[in-house]
Structure 1
Amino acid sequence: MRRHRPRGISIAEGCRLMGIARSTYYDRPEKAADDTAIVEAIFAICDGFESYGYRRVGAALRQQGFVVNHEKIRRLMREHDLQPKMRRRFVATTDSDHDGPIFPNLAKEMVPAGPNQLWVSDITYVALPTRFVYVAVLLDAWSRLIVGYAIGRSIDARLTVAALRAAINRRRPPLGSVLNRVGAGLIC
């Protein structure tokens, strides 16, 4: 029926004329492949691309003309131990080998009993499609709320000072509050 159905006749009408249920038409896909052919194709894909998971393998199989469910691909890959090899890239974001002063950690033993007694800060980067931006954040250690932040294109003292100024203007901390950064400490 698939190959010889005249134009203009729907699948439902063709099945009615032939006296079969419409579900029979959908019973078998156009190109069904046995498991050995699929497994051989999966092995070939995984040999060329070791980090491909079941989604990428499925896309490659579809490009080759196989009609395969993603669950079957996962099952076959698991049965034949074709799990992707994960390549984790390490990116050093901190330079701990510097000539600058290292300040004592004033908050090492400190447990805040209320807000604005201890602020902690850090700087990180956010990868955008075309570049990086840097974010300096200050948290209240007691409430875990962000008390100040700043975003900039370069990582320098202006970024951290802008975040500190935003926090001070927003919270007005009392004298004696401690601002701590990993490996550094200041008394406000």
Structure 2
Amino acid sequence: NFYQKKAWLPTVSEIKKANKNFSIKDICRLLGYTPQAYHQKIKHTLIRQVNEDLIIQQVHLFRKEQPRCGSRKLLIMLHPFFIKCSISIGRDHFFELLAKNKLLVRKTKRSVHTTNSKHHFRRYPNLIKDFVPLKAHELWVSDITYIPLKNRFAYLFLITDPTAERSLAFM
């Protein structure tokens, strides 16, 4: 069949609306389907829509208690509900349903963890605490920082002379 299989149901409805003289039976036979297939498809579509609405309601209930609960975990948690209501839905269809209704949990933006002072390694004393430099090049201080780029972070390492107020080196 050259045309999409899913497009025949709305086609039958549109032809019936446009031309009242044709029966559903005639239109279905013209398109190569039985009237029984037409009515079964309508019933199946209606049941699917009701099931999707039930699933969305249940997802909203779970998300009230656990707003960051992921889709796979939700699918597992909803499994007893699916069995009780005789709903059959696969993982991919469930994900598509959540995406269509904007219910997928967005990934949190990854932040950069810079200084970790709570470690078991040796901590060195602050040697410049009471030191006052009198001229240039008596004291150099260095620091490392992250610069956010489009898809990643870059390191910036600076060596500065506080008395000269300019960078001596950077990488």
What TM-score do the two structures reach when normalised by structure 2?
A: 0.33
Larger relative helix fraction: 2
Larger C-alpha radius of gyration, 1 or 2?
2
More strand by share: 1
